[in-house]
């Protein structure tokens, strides 16, 4: 197969032109192109007077590939092998079924791989199925009644279900393609297979996670929802079994392999692991707020005269700057045409996140504006000090918001001047539980607040209008990543044999795709049964 990079099409060109353009680059007649698929598609908006699409195509021809590639003499052309995921052999000799704790991206893919290998995993998820979970979340958003076991953080699909479903990632792994293919097969839009910025949308994610669960069950696995892990049984430095509670009834399961894909908000489970003697260290995390602008402003800033072209959709952005502190500030999980999400999972705590539907057709754009917090900033050297620090900020936000799960908010112009907001301007905040106008200096750590102010001014130079006075900041965003890392060895086990810390909650991922990839890696390790090989 031949891959051709950097094929350019204008916004008004038909994609049917790709075949003729590929033939021209390869210097062959179109009739010799047997088939082609889009490997990557991206928007090139570096020049605002020439916004266009750029493609990479995978082409199969009836001629000698090597001869054609040598003949065309172009750095844009290369021979590649089609991707094929190879399921590892199940080398487990154990009589026990492996356990996966958590059914977010990491747990879903770990469970799916184990099921595909015939290992018949049992997956424990403390939250409810997606339909019941959506009802509970809506109850929280409309009536501010929080269910601590069924919310934006806990339940079928994990925290990623109530997000943009963004599939961009900074990691490099051959398993990324496997993740995308499984998501597509489960109902995600086809463009995730080739878009340079793939996303599913929270509305489509509900379908996808349900279909993955059904696939695992067809393959012999079990997904036990509303089943909260209570205890891990260990002896002689190895896992012996688990105990969980389902609707008040406790069940024990004997096992020798547990993948802990618990997510970044299962703080009680992390505390249980710490008390059990699992080695945990502090890890940097970030704190900030969601910043909301009119989507029309972002479209104009990014696409110029091409803003609102029907083929472009809602524009996004990704900004960073080095300011008053070592790590500076950056935007994260930008949600075009999206909404701010009230994402609490603990009583008397307020946190926000962002989400978009597949259409991304909302009036506002929002993104996290975050500042890095290093362990030296934590209140103590305790391994879980970052968790306690996050909780302190979230509780302070709860009180400042009015003690009813409204989120503290402030106009960007007022934030920059350090004065409390008293009325909204042209941007209406989208947080579903409502907002309380205040001064965010009272909830954010001083270092975070000062760095954010400097960053907003700097970022406006990169994206015109970013410091819009009426733009709204809603706080706090504290859970973009875990504040702990659960240590593991080369076999991905922690210091207790048979326990595999996995995904975001363990400190080894930072998004849907990287968490899912880590789930695959942990499943591979379970299937390899390495700890039996070394005694």
Distance (Å, whole) CA 377 – CA 200: 36
Q: What is the pLDDT of residue 202?
A: 83
- Residue 174 pLDDT greater than 70, yes or no: yes
2-79 fold? Alpha-Beta Plaits (3.30.70)
DSSP letters of 44-87?
E-SSTT--EEEEEEEEEESS-HHHHHHHH--TTEEE-PPP---P
Q: In this predicted model, what pLDDT tens digit does every residue of 82-112 receive, in sequence order?
A: 889 999 999 999 999 999 999 999 999 999 9
Q: How far apart are CA 118 and CA 201, in angstroms?
A: 31
Evaluate whether 361 touches 314 at the Cβ level (below 8 Å): yes
- Say whether pLDDT at 390 is over 90: yes
Residue ranges, CATH 3.50.50.60, the chain = 99-281+482-533
Angle between helix axes 385-400 and 267-276 (nearest 10 degrees) is 150
pLDDT band at 324 (very low <50, low <70, confident <90, very high): low
**Mean of pLDDT values over 363-390:** 95
Q: How far apart are CA 385 and CA 259, in angstroms?
A: 24
Which residue carries 């403390």 as its tokens?
Answer: 126
311 phi and psi, to 5 degrees?
Answer: -85, -15
Domain with CATH 3.30.70.2700 in the chain: 2-79
Q: For position 142, what pLDDT does the model report? A: 95
| Neighbour tally for 322: CB within 10 Å | 14
DSSP E strands: which ranges in 336-393?
339-342, 352-355, 364-373
Q: Residue 525's pLDDT is what? A: 96
**What confidence score (pLDDT) does residue 532 get?**
46
Q: Report the pLDDT value the prediction gives residue 40, as an integer from 0 to 100.
A: 95
Angstrom distance (rounded) from CA 77 to CA 5: 6
| CB-based contacts of 24, cutoff 8 Å, min separation 6 | none
The closest alpha carbon to 127, from 163, 99, 161, belongs to 161
**What confidence tens digit (pLDDT) does each residue in 517-527 have?**
999 999 999 99
pLDDT one-digit tens code per residue, 413-423: 999 999 999 99
The string of DSSP codes covering 279-309 is: -EEE--EEEEEEEEEEHHHHHHHHHGGGTT-
Query: Quick one: tokens of 140?
Result: 């929280």
Confidence class for position 308, pLDDT limits 50, 70, 90: confident
Tell me: the pLDDT tens digits for 213-238? 999 999 999 999 999 999 999 999 99
* pLDDT band per the 50, 70, 90 thresholds, residue 323: low
- For residue 292, pLDDT beyond 60: yes
Question: CB under 8 Å to 410, separation ≥6 — which residues?
Answer: 420, 421, 437, 438, 439, 440, 472, 473, 475
Per-residue pLDDT band at 530 (split at 50, 70, 90): low
Write the Ramachandran bin of 454: left for phi over 0, alpha for psi from -120 to 50, otherwise beta.
alpha
The whole-angstrom distance between residue 86's C-alpha and the CA centroid of its chain comes to 25
Average pLDDT of the chain to the nearest whole number: 94
% pLDDT > 90, the chain = 88
Q: State residue 442 phi and psi, 5-degree precision.
A: -85, -15
Q: Is 63 exposed, middle or buried, given 0-12, 13-18 or 19+ CB atoms closer than 10 A?
A: middle
Q: Which CATH class is domain 99-281+482-533?
A: alpha beta
Q: Count the neighbouring beta carbons within 10 Å of the beta carbon of residue 448.
A: 27
Residues in Cβ contact with 235 at an 8 Å cutoff, skipping those fewer than 6 apart: none
Position 533 pLDDT exceeds 70:
no
Task: Give the pLDDT confidence score for residue 408 in this predicted structure.
Answer: 98
Query: What is the rounded distance in angstroms from the CA atom of residue 63 to the CA atom of residue 317?
Result: 42
Q: Tell me: the pLDDT tens digits for 394-437?
A: 999 999 999 999 999 999 999 999 999 999 999 999 999 999 99
CB count within 10 Å of CB 15 equals 11
Q: State the Cα–Cα distance between residues 278 and 301, nearest whole angstrom.
A: 49
Residue 42: is its pLDDT beyond 80?
yes
């Amino acid at each position: 197969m031949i891959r051709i990079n950097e094929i350019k099409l204008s916004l008004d060109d038909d994609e049917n032109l790709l075949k003729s353009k590929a033939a021209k680059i390869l210097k062959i007649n179109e009739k010799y192109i047997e088939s082609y698929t889009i490997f990557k598609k991206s928007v090139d908006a570096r020049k605002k007077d020439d916004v266009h699409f750029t493609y990479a195509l995978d082409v199969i021809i009836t001629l000698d590939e090597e001869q054609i590639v040598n003949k065309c003499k172009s750095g844009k052309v290369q021979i590649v092998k089609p991707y094929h995921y190879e399921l590892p052999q199940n080398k487990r000799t154990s009589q026990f079924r492996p356990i996966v704790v958590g059914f977010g991206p990491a747990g879903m893919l770990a469970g799916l791989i184990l099921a595909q290998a015939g290992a018949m995993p049992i997956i424990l998820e403390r939250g409810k199925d997606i339909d019941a979970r959506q009802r509970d979340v809506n109850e929280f958003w409309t009536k501010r009644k929080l269910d601590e076991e069924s919310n934006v953080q806990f339940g079928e699909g994990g925290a990623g279900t109530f997000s943009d479903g963004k599939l961009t990632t900074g990691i490099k792994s051959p398993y990324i393609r496997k993740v995308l293919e499984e998501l597509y097969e489960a109902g995600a839009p086809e463009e995730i297979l080739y878009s340079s910025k793939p996303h599913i949308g929270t509305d489509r994610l509900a379908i996808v996670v349900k279909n993955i669960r059904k696939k695992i069950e067809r393959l012999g696995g079990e997904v036990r929802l509303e089943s909260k892990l209570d205890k891990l049984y260990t002896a002689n430095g190895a896992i012996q079994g688990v105990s969980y509670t389902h609707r008040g009834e406790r069940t024990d399961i004997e096992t020798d392999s547990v993948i802990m894909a618990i997510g970044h908000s299962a703080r009680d489970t992390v505390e249980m692991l710490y008390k059990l003697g699992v080695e945990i260290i502090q890890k940097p995390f970030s704190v900030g707020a969601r910043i909301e602008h009119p989507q029309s402003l972002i479209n104009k800033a990014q696409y110029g005269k091409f803003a609102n072209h029907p083929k472009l959709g809602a524009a996004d952005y990704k900004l960073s700057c080095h300011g008053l502190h070592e790590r500076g500030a950056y935007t994260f999980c930008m949600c075009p045409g999206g909404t701010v999400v009230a994402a609490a999972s603990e009583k008397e705590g307020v946190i926000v996140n962002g989400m978009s539907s597949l259409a991304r057709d909302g009036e506002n754009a929002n993104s996290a504006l975050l500042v890095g917090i290093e362990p030296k900033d934590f209140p103590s050297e305790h391994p879980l000090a970052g968790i306690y620090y996050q909780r302190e900020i979230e509780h302070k936000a709860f009180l400042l918001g009015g003690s009813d799960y409204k989120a503290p908010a402030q106009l960007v112009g007022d934030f920059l001047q350090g004065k409390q907001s008293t009325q909204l301007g042209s941007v209406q905040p989208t947080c579903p539980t409502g907002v309380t106008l205040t001064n965010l200096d009272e909830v954010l750590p001083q270092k975070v607040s000062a760095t954010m102010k400097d960053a907003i001014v700097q970022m406006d130079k990169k994206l015109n209008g970013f410091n819009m006075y009426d733009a709204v900041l809603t706080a706090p965003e504290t859970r973009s990543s875990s504040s702990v890392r659960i240590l593991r060895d080369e076999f991905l086990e922690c210091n207790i044999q048979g326990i595999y810390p996995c995904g975001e909650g363990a400190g080894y991922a930072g998004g849907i795709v990287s968490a899912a990839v880590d789930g695959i890696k942990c499943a591979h390790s379970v299937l390899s049964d390495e700890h039996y090989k070394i005694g």
